[in-house]
Chain A
């Protein structure tokens, strides 16, 4: 079966532009997570969904960041007015449920570079 897929794999944009990053979770997984990984650091939690609703968005750094999952499957992370500091690898993961310790399966990430 297919794993978590993310598109695009790489995105280069200019400061101030808007970007959308897409995540296709494993079929049947109800929970979906977004993380951001900067160079030399571990993944940093941004937001997660249970079904269509955001269960915890406490990791979103500011109101330029927004994520949706309208049908409980594919999710889109949206970044407005991008800044150079937004450059990072954006990782998506999914899991069967939301229980603590549930294995999260990660996609390969989208490498975002803001010039």
Chain B
């Protein structure tokens, strides 16, 4: 039972264009959603998060959008840079727990 799903295993975009990574979830009790980025042989690195009471959070080139009615969130990266090439994980947690439920990940390749 996959509570957090990233249905696109990979995405390729041109440098300077927008990258959009998607994530769906099934548990309406999730209160926080986070995006992590992972390079090979390294642990995941926190990128950006959003609380369930918001629908948008922006940090520089990264914006996360949350659509609670659709149980869907997306990460927008604009403009994309070659250094953004990595695996991106969507994760969710409840209000009183730090336990993260991760999606399967999407491998982003940004071509110069």
Binding site for B on A (CB under 8 A): 4, 31, 33, 35, 40-45, 48, 55-56, 59, 91, 93, 95, 97-109
Residue of B34, B95, B97 contacting most chain A CB atoms (<10 Å): B97
How many A-B residue pairs have C-beta atoms within 8 angstroms? Tell me.
Answer: 74
Interface hits, B12-69 → A, CB 8 Å: 31-32, 34, 36, 41-46, 49, 51
Secondary structure dominating the interface of A? loop
Q: How large is the interface on B (under 10, 10 to 19, 20 to 34, 35 or more residues)?
A: 20 to 34
With both beta carbons as reference points, the residue of chain A lying nearest to B93 in the complex is identified as: A100
A91-B43 contact, Cβ under 8 Å, with A43-B89, A101-B31, A101-B34:
yes
Across the interface, do B99 and A56 meet the contact criterion of CB distance under 8 Å? yes
A42 with B89, Cβ < 8 A, contacts A33-B98, A103-B49 known: yes
In the complex, B11 has a CB within 8 A of chain A: no
A43 touches B97 (CB 8 A): no
Known: A40-B105, A56-B97, A101-B34. 5 other contacts (CB 8 A): A41-B105, A42-B104, A48-B98, A99-B98, A100-B97
| A56 to chain B: closest residue by CB | B99
Query: Across the interface, which residues of B come within 8 angstroms of A108, CB to CB?
Result: 41-43
Specify the chain B residue showing the minimal Cβ separation from A98.
B98
